[in-house]
Amino acid sequence: QEDIFKKIVSHCKEYGFVFPSSEIYDGLGAVYDYGQYGSELKNNIKRYWWDAMTLLHSNVVGIDSAIFMHPKIWKASGHVDAFNDPLIDNKDSKKRYRADVLIEDYLAKIDEKIDKEVAKAAKRFGETFDEAMFRQTNPRILQYAAKREEVHSRFATALNENDLEALRQLILDCEIVCPISGTRNWTEVRQFNLMFATEMGSTADGAMKVYLRPETAQGIFVNFLNVQKTGRMKLPFGIAQIGKAFRNEIVARQFIFRMREFEQMEMQFFVRPGEELDWFEKWKRTRMSWHQALGFGAQKYRFHDHDKLAHYANAATDIEFEMPFGFKEVEGIHSRTDFDLKRHEEFSGKKMQYFDPELNRNYIPYVVETSIGLDRMFLSILSAAYTEETTDKGETRVVLKLPAPLAPVKLAVLPLVKKDGLDDKAREILTDLRFDFSCQYDEKDSIGRRYRRQDAIGTPYCITIDHQTMEDGTVTLRDRDSMSQERITIDSIRNIVGENVSM
Ligand code: ATP
């Protein structure tokens, strides 16, 4: 699986989906650029989300708020004081780590050991993995399981109580070593704020410290009344937004899964107090169906309900997707109570109340939030779509089985050869179709190699213009996934392809 992940990363680079940022200067950690196909795919994902939110729900509207916001907003939201990661340094390698991630990795290693032992036992006794796990009496496994239990419970307590010294003690007790120096020479654990700060205005006239937003949600909260009043919105209603967010992540790994500059698609849904948990359940179902509508199979997704809730939430769940490196969060759904609006009322001194004409009173609405990382969504789609197949001829075919509406190129127009007017005919067809869906013309190399190139970028359809086209006005239409070919008339291309690639 790790191997597949490496292949996906290099595929992204080789085919113009994702490049490391500032590559000719040796890159910039955890920052990436989207290439010619990547940006098309990303735009299509945005559209798929935006339409699902705003077109399918008449009571959800979109906004586009600025990245810079008044610094008091981040005080009110709690980010200045509490948006921290616990960090620890190794004194020998001078490398910095997230203390919680070191412990999580340690727990994952114990899990791996348990799995290995159970698999061994299952093989020995001819049982399934689950049977062997259930019946387990092997002392080594029991020992691992007890250790896991102990570390897990101390870890949860330390996090809950925000006890940095307890985190450090756990790292020492587990004898966790620095992957670089191999030593256990650790510093104390400190809190590190994840927000990027910069200055607005020139220093001479007193510059103001401002932050690059770490989430798009606050732009929605502070505009809640603007939208409600100008749009004459009635509760319940939602505000959606797509935009960049920035976090100075310390453990930046796994490609575009954890970036320092990334994009979010967030929706805050405002409801009457007391109705939030029903709406939370509704949005959970709606969001899961949205993911599953992509057709990768329901087994690729699962909910992870939170036991430990953030101080502002009264229910929270993640939608996790099976990435090549395991099930990981792509979307968070949170019932955020009236925390944010109340805090903004307090910090700004402005009323954040809604007048409910039915109840004939004012109150601060409750909020259910759906928050999805666009880049993580991109990675999940690529991971599910990336396929290696062996053809009849024994060759390996790499194909991105992207849902057709998301594919960067919908149709490739290919003249079989570059003579006898076939290339002119192909260009004529391209000119006719290029405003209906995204098309690409390619005349270089053998037809087989051109098909492979289109497979590699996930183009659902190719049409080939051959000598028969000049006689009877038909072309071959090749389907990416089945590789089957059929002859269709030039006139029918628009409808046949159009029907299958539209959102
Ligand atoms: P994690 O626990 O993985 O750090 P989070 O719980 O902090 O994520 P939220 O603050 O709930 O994430 O943000 C909502 C969504 O934004 C996440 O589900 C994820 O898809 C995305 N996201 C958060 N941080 C990053 C990041 N550094 N890079 C890419 N996407 C991110």
Distance 373 CA to ligand 1 centre (A): 6
Q: Which of 481, 471, 479 is nearest to 496 (CA)?
A: 479
- Residue with the smallest CA separation from ligand 1 atom 9 is 332
Asked if the model's pLDDT at residue 140 lies above 90, the reply is: no
- Report the DSSP beta bridge partners of residue 32: 20
For residue 373, the ligand 1 atom closest to its alpha carbon is 20
Q: What is the pLDDT of residue 206?
A: 72
Q: Which residue has the higher pLDDT, 394 or 344?
A: 344
ipTM over 0.90 threshold: yes
Q: Residue 157's pLDDT band (boundaries 50, 70, 90)?
A: very high
Q: Is 362 exposed, middle or buried (0-12, 13-18, 19+ CB in 10 A)?
A: exposed
> Ligand 1 pocket test: which of 371, 375, 379 has the largest number of ligand atoms within 8 Å of its C-beta?
371
| pLDDT one-digit tens code per residue, 249-297 | 987 678 999 999 999 999 999 999 999 999 999 999 999 999 999 999 9
Contact 103, 174 (CB under 8 A): yes
- Residue with the smallest CA separation from ligand 1 atom 22 is 373
Percent over 70 (pLDDT), the chain? 99
Q: Which residue has the higher pLDDT, 130 or 390?
A: 390
Instruction: Assign 3-class secondary structure to 53-76.
Output: HHCCCCCEEEECCCCECCHHHHHH
Q: Is 376 in the pocket of ligand 1 (CB under 6 A)?
A: yes
Mean pLDDT of 369-392: 97
Tally Cβ neighbours within 10 Å of residue 313: 18
- Residue with the smallest CA separation from ligand 1 atom 4 is 258
Q: Is 338 in the pocket of ligand 1 (CB under 6 A)?
A: no
**Which of 73-82, 194-203, 336-345 is predicted least confidently?**
194-203
Q: Is 246 in the pocket of ligand 1 (CB under 6 A)?
A: no
Note the pTM of the prediction, 2 decimals.
0.91
Q: Is 375 in the pocket of ligand 1 (CB under 6 A)?
A: yes
Asked if the model's pLDDT at residue 58 lies above 70, the reply is: yes
- Residue with the smallest CA separation from ligand 1 atom 11 is 332
Mean pLDDT of 13-36: 96
Q: Is 322 in the pocket of ligand 1 (CB under 6 A)?
A: no
Mean pLDDT of 66-74: 97
Q: What is the pLDDT of residue 232?
A: 96
Q: Is 259 in the pocket of ligand 1 (CB under 6 A)?
A: yes
Q: What is the pLDDT of residue 377?
A: 98
Alpha carbon distances (Å) from 179 to 105, 185, 475: 11, 12, 58
Q: Residue 19's pLDDT band (boundaries 50, 70, 90)?
A: very high
Question: Measured between alpha carbons, how far is 121 from 144 in angstroms, rounded to an integer?
Answer: 15
Q: Residue 1's pLDDT band (boundaries 50, 70, 90)?
A: low
Asked if the model's pLDDT at residue 47 lies above 90, the reply is: yes
Q: What is the pLDDT of residue 252?
A: 66
For residue 318, the ligand 1 atom closest to its alpha carbon is 18
Q: What is the pLDDT of residue 207?
A: 80
Q: Which of 88, 81, 98 is nearest to 189 (CA)?
A: 88
Helix (H, G, I), strand (E, B) or coil at 308: coil
Q: Which of 484, 487, 468, 466 is nearest to 476 (CA)?
A: 487
Mean pLDDT of 177-193: 94
Question: Measured between alpha carbons, how far is 177 from 173 in angstroms, rounded to an integer?
Answer: 11
Average pLDDT over the chain reads 94
The rounded radius of gyration (Å) of the Cα atoms in the chain is 27
Contact 321, 380 (CB under 8 A): yes
Per DSSP bridges, beta strands 461-465 and 411-415 are parallel
Q: What is the pLDDT of residue 203?
A: 66
Mean pLDDT of 221-225: 98
Asked if the model's pLDDT at residue 65 lies above 80, the reply is: yes
Distance 211 CA to ligand 1 centre (A): 18
Asked if the model's pLDDT at residue 370 lies above 70, the reply is: yes
| pLDDT one-digit tens code per residue, 293-335 | 999 999 999 999 998 788 889 999 999 999 999 999 999 999 9
